[in-house]
């Protein structure tokens, strides 16, 4: 079946601009996670959605970052007033919610110039 | 102390070698454990779950030692295609539910 998809695959933006990154989880998966990974570094948790529960935003690095999940499916991660340190690969993962396994999308590589 | 600690490597091994990676975790309440594999510039992919009794999948064997809070991955008969970063992953539930904590990864390079 179809896996997790993310768009765009690459995004280059100027410092100070806003960007939106999209994630389409695997159909039927109730859990959705956003992570970011800087070059050569490990995964940094950002935010977690589970069904209709309030999201866990504990990993968001600043109030410039926000995320929504509409209809329990598609999610959008928004970064306002981008900074150069926001440059990273942003990975989305989904899971069944009843188990811990997470399945990752290919990521969006964000470059802030 | 990091929640999940791994030796970053790299481990450079010849084809056909056996190589083992170790990982320690700090949360004694953790119940679910995994190894993920991440190829260069790709997303992490689930390699295998780790069960209390230990489990094997082809050339890969995973073991868990709860008393020492220690997980291992053994790869036998290494292939060039095994070159990747191996991520040790442990559940870290919070009030919201199912969460995973990822180690920083161990890089493996298999040479001809």
Q: What is the pLDDT of residues A85-109, one digit of tens each?
A: 999 999 999 998 777 889 999 999 9
* High-pLDDT (> 70) share of chain B, %: 95
Q: What is the pLDDT of residue B53?
A: 87
Give Cα A28 distance to the centre of its chain: 18
pLDDT band at residue B2 using 50, 70 and 90 as cut-offs: confident
Chain B hits for A107, Cβ within 8 Å: 43
Comparing A87 with B30, the larger pLDDT belongs to A87
B49–A101 CB contact, under 8 Å: yes
User: Burial code of B56-73, b = ≥16 C-beta within 10 A, e = fewer?
Assistant: eeeebbbbbeeeebebbb
CB contact under 8 A, B34 and A100: yes
Tell me the Cα Rg of chain A: 13
Q: What is the pLDDT of residue B97?
A: 61
Q: B98 to chain A nearest CA, in Å? A: 6
**Given a cut of 90, is residue B58 above it in pLDDT?**
yes
- Answer whether A113 touches B (CB < 8 Å): no
Name the stretches of chain A with pLDDT < 70: 1
> What is the model's pLDDT at position B69?
94
Rounded Cα distance between A78 and A10, Å, is 15
């Amino acid at each position: 079946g179809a896996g997790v998809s993310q768009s765009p695959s690459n995004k280059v933006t100027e410092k100070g601009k806003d960007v939106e990154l999209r994630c389409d989880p695997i159909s039927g998966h109730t859990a959705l996670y956003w992570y970011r990974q800087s070059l050569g570094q490990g995964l940094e948790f950002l935010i977690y959605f589970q069904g209709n529960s309030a999201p866990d935003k504990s990993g968001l690095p600043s109030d410039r970052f926000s995320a929504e999940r509409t209809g329990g499916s598609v999610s959008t991660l928004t970064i306002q007033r981008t900074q150069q340190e926001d440059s990273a690969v942003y990975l989305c993962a989904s899971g069944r919610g009843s188990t811990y396994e997470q399945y990752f999308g290919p990521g969006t590589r964000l470059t802030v110039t | 102390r990091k929640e999940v600690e791994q030796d970053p490597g790299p481990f450079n091994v010849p084809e056909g070698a056996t190589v083992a990676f170790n990982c320690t975790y700090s949360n004694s309440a953790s119940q679910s454990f995994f190894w993920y594999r991440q190829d260069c510039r790709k997303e992490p992919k689930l390699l295998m779950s780790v069960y209390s009794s230990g489990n094997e999948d082809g050339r890969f064997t995973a073991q868990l030692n709860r008393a020492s809070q220690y997980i291992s991955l053994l790869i036998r008969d290494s292939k060039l295609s095994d070159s990747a970063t191996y991520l040790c992953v442990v559940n870290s539930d919070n009030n919201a539910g199912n969460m995973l904590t990822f180690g920083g990864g161990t890089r493996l390079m298999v040479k001809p």
